[in-house]
């Protein structure tokens, strides 16, 4: 599977979301979308990342951007995760991993010498026209949400010229 990069059309999706119903990329077209992929609900790095994005939700909203987190966890797991940590971001479930594969983030990982398949923590900034504007791979959580917010603001500025 080829890696999705800057300038590529972001692969479409429609997936079940926390709180009920579905969320599609098409329904967000015309506005920036921060799509972040994370390995597992309620683990330390994933929780810190979701809390950081949630804390900045008002600033993302001011920039007209929607933040969507995606993992292979179930909607039930997402609902518990959102409730436990009072998360404000949208969470969608890709249980069959088709969207994770389309974005190239379902990869072979290694821990303590054991190889397994998992989600590589990655964030895509999708511009209002549906094309990838920026990609962060192998994300380190501290400061990441703030960096993404600055990129969203930069996208706004460049689209006004």
- Tell me what pLDDT residue 108 has: 87
Order of strands across the sheet that contains 122-126:
90-93, 66-71, 33-37, 122-126, 132-136
Beta strands in the chain (DSSP E): 14-16, 22-24, 33-37, 66-71, 90-93, 106-111, 114-119, 122-126, 132-136
154 given a catalytic annotation:
no
User: What pLDDT digit, counting tens, does each position of 11-29 carry?
Assistant: 999 999 999 999 999 999 9
Which of residues 45 and 84 earns the better pLDDT score? 84
Q: What is the pLDDT of residues 34-54, one digit of tens each?
A: 999 999 998 888 989 999 999
Which domains are seen in the chain, by residue range?
Answer: 31-159 (3.40.30.10)
Among the listed residues 25, 33, 34, 46, the single catalytic one is 46
Q: Which two tokens stand for residue 25?
A: 């990329």
pTM above 0.75, yes or no: yes
| Of 36, 32, 56, 22, residue with least CA distance to 154 | 32
């Amino acid at each position: 599977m080829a890696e999705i990069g800057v300038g590529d059309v972001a692969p479409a999706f429609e997936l079940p979301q926390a709180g009920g119903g579905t969320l599609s990329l098409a329904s967000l077209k015309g506005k920036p979308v921060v799509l972040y992929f994370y390995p597992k609900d309620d683990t330390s790095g994933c929780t810190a990342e979701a809390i950081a994005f949630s804390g900045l939700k008002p600033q993302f909203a001011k920039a007209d951007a929607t933040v969507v987190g995606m993992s292979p966890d179930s909607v039930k797991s997402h609902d518990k995760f959102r409730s436990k940590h009072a998360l404000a971001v949208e969470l969608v479930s890709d249980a069959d991993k088709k969207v994770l594969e389309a974005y190239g983030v379902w990869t072979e990982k290694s821990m303590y010498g054991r190889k397994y398949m998992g989600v590589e923590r990655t964030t895509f900034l999708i511009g209002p026209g549906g094309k990838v504007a920026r990609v962060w791979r192998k994300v380190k959580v501290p400061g990441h949400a703030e960096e993404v917010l600055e990129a969203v603001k930069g996208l706004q500025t460049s689209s006004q010229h």
